[in-house]
Structure formats: structure tokens, C-alpha cells
A and B are shown apart, each in its own frame.
Chain A
Amino acid sequence: MDACDTEVTAVSNDPADDEKAETDGGVRAYTVRLELVDEPGELLRALAPIADNGGNLLSIHHERGSITPRGHIPVEVDLESPPDRFDGIVEALRDAGVNVIQAGAEHYGEEISVVLVGNIVETDLSDTLSKIESDANAVVRDLSLTAPDGTEAVSSARIRLAIDSGQSDAALSAIRSIGSDKELTVVEPLLGGETA
């Protein structure tokens, strides 16, 4: 890959978060956008520096069909790592010659996951999701549902939400109230301290 191909726009995360950078096992979620050359093995090559530098891959969105203006394939990688290791991960990606288009915070400052438990399907999941988007001022990024005993029994759903910085408490309080209306148990993330 030519050096001129390497374009790095590392957007540091919220400065307020940096105060919490001293961690004791605490990790944060980050999104990294990459551009890959359409060649076999490129994706694997791009992921190795993340894993090698203490990042934990959460999801990889690999859009094989779409091509960036420069003829490359866009890949979005969600990962979590201790805040103090994230810069090292981005640097390792650059050193490996991987095109990093964006690293760090996205438009929405925070991502949180919640797990809902109960009669999720029967209480109209899509209505629950739209209520969460409107009442909690959030964007549903990702949903995972399991109903091991069928959709009429108790099932669980994990929902990953993007919300504005500093709005976690308000969003969670809205989700709590939606959950109690629908008799769903809401397992919230523990915010605060160094555990978020």
C-alpha cells in the first residue's frame, strides 16, 4: 500500500473521558473506520494490530458491495479497549499500513447496551424499539434477541444504543419506564466510576 494512501483522522474521544483513563480493567467502546484494498487476507491483516494491542473486537461491519471514492472497501470495526491503549491501537494500524479513516468518538458521544428480559416479542418489540428511540433520544445500533423457549415464553434482547454525551442517565431512566410499562426487566449498564 502506498504511503499516500494512508490517511489518518484520529478523533480523540471526549476530554472528559480522559480523566477516567486510569483504569483497573475498565474498558471503553470505540469505533474505527478503515479502508481496505480488495485483496485476500486484507481484513485479517487489518484486525491483527487491534488484537495484538489489547483491543477486544466487538463487531465488524464489512461492506463488500460498496466501494469508497478511492476504490477501496469500507470496514467499520467496533472494539473495546482500556482508554490508555486506544491510541496505541490506532498507531499500530497505521504502522501496519492500514487506512484509518476515523477513530474514536462518533457523532453520538456514548454507546450503551441494555438487556431486556420478559415477553419481549408479545409486547411488540418494534414498538419497544421505537419508544426507546423517541423517549430515550437514542439510536438503536444493534439488536440481538434470543428466545430459547419460543417467542411466547420469556426471552432476552440486547440492544446497543448510541446516545449524546452526558445523556446516559436520562436515557436509562426513559428505558426503565418503558420496561416497567411492558413488564420487562431492564438490565442496565453500570455507569460511573471506572466500570462504564
Chain B
Amino acid sequence: MKLAILGAGDVGRSVADLAGDYGHDVVALADSTTATVDDDGIDIDGALERKLAGDALGSSDLETVFEADYDVLVEATPTTLGDAQPGFSHTKRALEADRHVVLANKGPVAERYEELRALEAASAGSIRFEATVGGAIPILSTVEDSTPQAVTAVRGVLNGTANFILTRMAAEGLDYEHVLAEAQDLGVAEADPTFDVDGTDAALKFVILANVLADGGFALNDATVDGIQNIPGSALDLAAEDGRTIRLIGEATRDGVRVGPRLVPENGPLAVTGTRNIVQIETRNAGSLHSSGRGAGGPETATAVLSDVGRLPPL
């Protein structure tokens, strides 16, 4: 497949870097200001070197990407809430041009799912978005394989930053602010960790899951979301007295989405430690399935994007 990649952050760059290993060509790569386009395949190493050196990625602008001869648009621009722009427009343009779209951007899938599906129905192309939920962990494809109608709920830990903080608090008996500062020093938490610790990031992923289970109907506003900012170290100590611990757990069903700190058995499957993610897929006929792995990171998330590309039918 010929890929056009929008977004040159960790994920976009990793997709470009790894595409060759998966047998795909990259014909365009763009960040928010410039683009490099070549129908015979761009010089990926050169483009990435320029990007990392802080220079312009290329000499073209975004418009030229849509004129390129591509099969799949990889939408890896930053997630935005509300109208989910510009990710939504990028997706729309590609579908209207009868191309496939693989999203790593959570915004359009969480906030404008029905519109995406309507655009897809009118297009020869398809959309896939495995990378939006749980990075490298094959969650959506597992739901798809089990058929969404036979999945009754998906629960789990899908934010590594919040999980890292809770794990450290429980292990060291430290309070939230202390561990957050440490996580920022280690680069696990962003300078502004709000979306991670207030539950928004996890909620977007569970909204996407609920949309897949119920074939639409959910946006972030429909989710009940609580964060971990108010959890003191002492609450984790108390939970441990009872053989339990506290994790930021999300739940998606056809009835709704809920994210918040919950008590789980200390040695149970959902009590993953550090930045690890896990989901439990509850199925009607096959019991529960658990998948755990790295839920973030450039190369990890890029593998989910490239797996999606591999599942697309030829145009």
C-alpha cells in the first residue's frame, strides 16, 4: 500500500520509519506546517532527520499531500476534542477521494463516530483505528473478531500515566503530587498531565469502544469521568489492607461509558503496574479475554497503525 502520513509526532514518524518493514511505501509525510511528497516514495530518513533537527520537514504544503497517489491516509495529528479538527476534515477528504484512512487520532472516532461511518459508507475506502485504543494491544481487532454484538463489556486500564502514578503511590506510600513530579522527571507524564490524570484520555478510548459496541451514539460528553487527583496515598494503603489496590478503570458497554478510580484485587488481572495497559473483553459466549501490553509509544502505536493497513482490502 502507498501511505500518506499526516502528523510527524512520535507515531507519525514511527509509521514512516517502520512502513518499509511491513512492505508499504510512504509517498507523503506532513506535519502542521510543511510536507514532503513523492509518488515514487519519499526519502524517509532525510525527512526524519530534518524534523528532528528542527528544520522544515519538506518544501510542500499540506494540500499537496491530498494530491499525491496514495492508498491509505494515516491520520496521526494530535487529538482534539469537540469538533475533532483538523483530523476530521483530513479523514473526510480522503474518504471522499475513495481512499482508506487509518487513524491514530482519537478525536474523530470518539467525538464524530456516526459522521465518520456515514462518510465511509459513501466511499470506496474504509476506516480503521486500532491505534486509538491501547496502542500496541490488539483490542479493536479482538472485539471485531468476537463480533461486537457478542461483546458485553470492555473494562480496563488504558492510561499508562495514571497507572504509573497509582502504582508508585501504592508501592512507596507517597502522595499524588510527589509521584506526579517524579513521573514528569522520568518523562512518563507530560508537563501538563491534565488529560491523563483527570481521566479524559482514558474516557476517549472507552467512548471509542462503546461506539464500536453500540455502532455509535457516544461522545466524550456522554461519559462519566473521574480522575485520580483526589486520591491520597493513605487510600491506597487502606485498599492494600484488604488485598486490593486502586486503579483508574474504564468501562464501556452499550449502555454507557464510565472512567474512575476503582478498587481491584491487588493480584488480579487488572492491577497492572507501571505504564502497562490491560483490557478485559467480556464476551457472551467465550468468557473473558484479557490483553495486556504497551498502550503508548511511537513504535508500539505505529505497529497498530501498520496492522490496520495490512487488514485493508485493495482499492
Contacts and interface: CB of A to CB of B under 8 A. Distances in A.
Interface residues of B, number: 34
A167 interface: no
Given A24-B288, A113-B263, A117-B231, A58 B243 contact: yes
Interface stretch (A96-104, A130-138, A183-191): A183-191
Interface string A69-83: 000000000001000
A58 B265 contact: no
Nearest to A115: B235
Given A25-B267, A26-B268, A192-B153, A144 B288 contact: no
Contacts of A144: 238, 241
A22 B249 CA distance: 22
A117 B237 CA distance: 12
B270 A195 contact: yes
B269 A190 contact: no
A154 B232 contact: yes
A160 B231 contact: no
A47 interface: no
B262 interface: yes
Nearest to B269: A25
A interface, size bucket: 20 to 34
A168 interface: no
A189 B153 contact: no
A115 B232 contact: no
Interface string A107-123: 00000011101100000
B261 interface: yes
Nearest to B268: A25
A144 B244 CA distance: 14
A142 to B, nearest CB: 9
A25 B233 CA distance: 25
A190 B234 contact: no
Contacts of A187: 231, 235, 239, 246, 260-263
Contacts of A114: 263
A166 B267 CA distance: 24
Interface in A1-35: 22, 24-27
Contact of A195 (B232, B246, B280): B280
Given A56-B243, A113-B244, A154-B232, A190 B238 contact: no
A2 B131 CA distance: 65
A115 B238 contact: yes
B113 to A, nearest CB: 24
A88 B228 CA distance: 39
Secondary structure class of chain A's binding surface, majority of residues: strand
B237 A146 contact: yes
A174 to B, nearest CB: 17
Interface string B150-161: 000101000000
B151 to A, nearest CB: 12
A24 B239 CA distance: 21
B282 interface: yes
Contacts of A160: 242
Given A58-B243, A113-B242, A155-B234, A195 B153 contact: no
Nearest to B244: A113
B165 to A, nearest CB: 15
Interface in B242-284: 242-244, 246, 249, 251, 260-265, 267-270, 280, 282
Given A24-B290, A195-B155, A158 B269 contact: no
B287 interface: yes
Nearest to B271: A25
A56 B243 CA distance: 8
B230 interface: yes
Interface of B: 153, 155, 226, 230-235, 237-239, 241-244, 246, 249, 251, 260-265, 267-270, 280, 282, 287-288, 290
Given A144-B238, A156-B238, A190-B270, 7 more contacts: A27-B267, A56-B243, A80-B265, A113-B239, A187-B262, A189-B262, A192-B153
